[in-house]
């Protein structure tokens, strides 16, 4: 009885000490990183885990030096559900405002999922002067707003790929396919959301129309669509050689299954979120061989031996959470964003939002996505060489269930192989 009493006293004392000194045993108040995003979707869920992992790493090394004190990071999150079909933008904005007012964060990481929500949230974030490093929403329209009113929107940054850069990588992939196999008939299928529409339109305008490709058809699908048979039949009937899919909804996996089951003799090359991670092979029972997918950032569920940090990050994630990353968009830049913020606060020496924003803008560091620098629209610059800029990674699923990076050349591990039943025109 006495022994039990003393154990209880010790446990209560420990609990008191821990609660008195904060979560990590720091004497100083934690610095709050807010993560308002769609945590019910894989990009948001894994992104949040990445923020937690990066914060644990930083806190384990002593925390963040702010002036003369060392302070820990602390993560607060809210599911703003903006990625779910039918959820209005104002509801997402309420979530963002709530976390800003209640948790008083020093910065926001990840941010809105849908571009529509990001554009609407920019004014709220600026009103409360909270530096934000967005890692999911991709519309270039946010950069235009920042360039129009740089003082007002000085707190808003994006570290993930934007739609323009995605177009650049997709153009590179299509040019490679055209050069290698002589294909020039494409069927475009995209999700009916801002970033996907913008990407598809830009592909048509900037590449297919100019380079003499025939766009056989261009279909936009509402989020939640679960049958793609009509488009696949049309693609077959019209003789499509390449199908360009641009989707980030879970149901887009159905497109891959139908493409395989209907034996459409066309190369599936674009972005389908469920194809991004290593688990896709098992998920789709190995029926995805030959599909080419663009993971938006290196490090997001794909690593290259040529960028050691991308591999170390993916390994660390698997070790920390017990399973590998599956989201081909967000995890890489999210991890880098926490470190960008960490370094910016240390350089600023305070939590003054203007000082932090100024320091974020000056960032020049090597991360898991490559070299990170911001342009005038507060967008991380993406190009083809990870030593100079951040990079995306276009890969192909092989017959053996491996992913081989095929573009950009600086990190390529092989070239595109045509799936069975599809012959080169060269």
Partner 1 sequence: MVAGTIIYALINSFILALMAIGFNLTFGISGVANFAYGAFYVLAAYVSWILLNLLEFPYPVSAVISILFTVILGALMYRFVLLRVRGQPVSEVIATFGIGLSILELFRYLGFIGFEYTMPVFIDKSFFFFGTYVDMQRILIVIIGLCLIIFLWFFTHHTSLGLAFRGIAQDERTALTFGMDSDRIATLSVSFGAGLAAVASTIIIPLGTISVGEGYDVLIKALAVCIIGGLGSTGGVILASFLIGFAERFTDSYIGSHWTMIVSLAAILIVLIIKPSGLFGKQKELEERI
Asked whether the bond before 408 is cis by omega within 30 degrees of 0, the reply is yes
CB of 221 to partner 1, least distance (A): 5
- Which residues is 396 bridged to in the sheet? 292, 404
For partner 1, which is the closer residue by CB, 244 or 380? 244
CB of 24 to partner 1, least distance (A): 24
CA distances from 277 to 8, 198, 249, 272 (A): 46, 24, 14, 11
Give the C-alpha separation, 302 to 314, whole Å: 8
CB of 102 to partner 1, least distance (A): 20
For partner 1, which is the closer residue by CB, 285 or 364? 285
How far, rounded to the nearest angstrom, does the alpha carbon of residue 361 sit from its chain's CA centroid? 20
Rg (CA), the chain: 23
CB of 386 to partner 1, least distance (A): 27
How crowded is residue 285: how many other Cβ atoms within 10 Å of its Cβ? Answer: 9
For partner 1, which is the closer residue by CB, 214 or 251? 251
CB of 164 to partner 1, least distance (A): 23
Residue 323 structure tokens = 């399973």
Cβ pair 164, 205 in contact under 8 A: no
For partner 1, which is the closer residue by CB, 145 or 204? 204
In which residue are the tokens 């609660």 written? 19
Give the C-alpha separation, 376 to 397, whole Å: 36
**CB crowding 216-247: b at 16 or more within 10 Å, else e:** bebbebebebeebeebbeebbeeebbbbbbbb
CB of 52 to partner 1, least distance (A): 13
CB of 245 to partner 1, least distance (A): 12
For partner 1, which is the closer residue by CB, 44 or 134? 44
Supply the DSSP string of 76-142, one letter for each residue.
EEEE--TTSTT--HHHHHHHHHHHHHHH--SEEEE--SSHHHHHHHHHHHHHTT--EEE-S---THH
CB of 205 to partner 1, least distance (A): 19
CB of 261 to partner 1, least distance (A): 4
Residue 296 structure tokens = 């938006």
Binding residues (CB under 8 A) for partner 1: these are 39-42, 45, 84-86, 192, 219-222, 224-227, 229-231, 233-234, 236-237, 250-251, 253-254, 257-258, 261-263, 273-274, 277, 279-280, 282-285, 326
For partner 1, which is the closer residue by CB, 65 or 234? 234
Give the C-alpha separation, 239 to 343, whole Å: 53
For partner 1, which is the closer residue by CB, 129 or 257? 257
* Ramachandran quadrant class, 104 (left: phi over 0; alpha: psi -120 to 50; beta: rest): left
Give the C-alpha separation, 153 to 185, whole Å: 42
For partner 1, which is the closer residue by CB, 36 or 253? 253
For partner 1, which is the closer residue by CB, 36 or 367? 36
């Amino acid at each position: 009885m006495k022994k039990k009493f003393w154990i209880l006293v010790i446990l209560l004392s420990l609990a008191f000490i821990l609660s008195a000194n904060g979560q990590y045993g720091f004497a100083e108040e934690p610095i709050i990183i807010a993560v308002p995003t769609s945590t019910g979707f894989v990009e948001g869920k894994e992104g949040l885990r990445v923020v937690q992992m990066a914060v644990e790493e930083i806190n384990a090394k002593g925390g963040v030096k702010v002036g003369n004190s060392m302070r820990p990071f602390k993560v607060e999150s809210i599911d703003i559900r903006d990625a779910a079909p039918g959820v209005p933008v104002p509801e997402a904005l309420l979530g963002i405002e709530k976390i800003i007012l209640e948790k008083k964060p020093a910065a926001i990481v990840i941010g809105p999922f849908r571009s529509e929500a990001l554009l609407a949230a920019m004014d709220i974030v600026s009103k409360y002067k909270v530096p934000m490093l967005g890692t999911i929403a991709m519309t270039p329209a946010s950069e235009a707003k920042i360039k129009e009113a740089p003082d007002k929107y000085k707190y808003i940054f994006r570290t993930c790929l934007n739609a323009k850069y995605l177009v650049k990588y997709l153009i590179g992939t299509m040019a490679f396919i055209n050069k290698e196999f002589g294909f020039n008939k494409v069927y475009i299928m995209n999700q009916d959301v801002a970033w996907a529409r913008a990407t598809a339109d830009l592909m048509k305008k900037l590449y297919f129309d100019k380079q003499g490709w025939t766009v056989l058809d261009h279909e936009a699908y509402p989020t939640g669509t679960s049958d793609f048979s009509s488009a696949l039949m049309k693609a077959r009937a019209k003789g499509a050689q390449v199908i360009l899919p641009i989707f980030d909804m879970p149901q887009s996996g159905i497109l891959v299954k139908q493409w395989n089951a209907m034996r459409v003799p066309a190369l599936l090359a674009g972005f389908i979120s469920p194809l991004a991670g290593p688990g896709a092979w098992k998920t789709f029972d190995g029926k995805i061989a030959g599909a080419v997918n663009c993971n938006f950032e290196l490090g997001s569920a794909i690593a290259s031996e040529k960028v050691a940090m991308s591999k170390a990050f993916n390994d660390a994630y698997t070790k920390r959470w017990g399973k590998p990353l599956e989201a081909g968009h967000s995890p890489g830049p999210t991890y880098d964003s926490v470190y960008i913020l960490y370094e910016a606060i240390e350089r600023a020496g305070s939590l003054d939002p203007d000082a932090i924003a100024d320091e974020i803008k000056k960032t020049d560091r090597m991360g898991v996505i490559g070299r990170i620098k911001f342009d005038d629209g507060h967008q991380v610059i993406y190009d083809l060489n990870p030593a100079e800029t951040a990079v995306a990674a276009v890969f192909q699923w092989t017959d053996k269930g491996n992913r081989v990076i095929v573009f950009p050349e600086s990190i390529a591990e092989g070239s595109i192989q045509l799936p069975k039943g599809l012959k080169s025109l060269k």
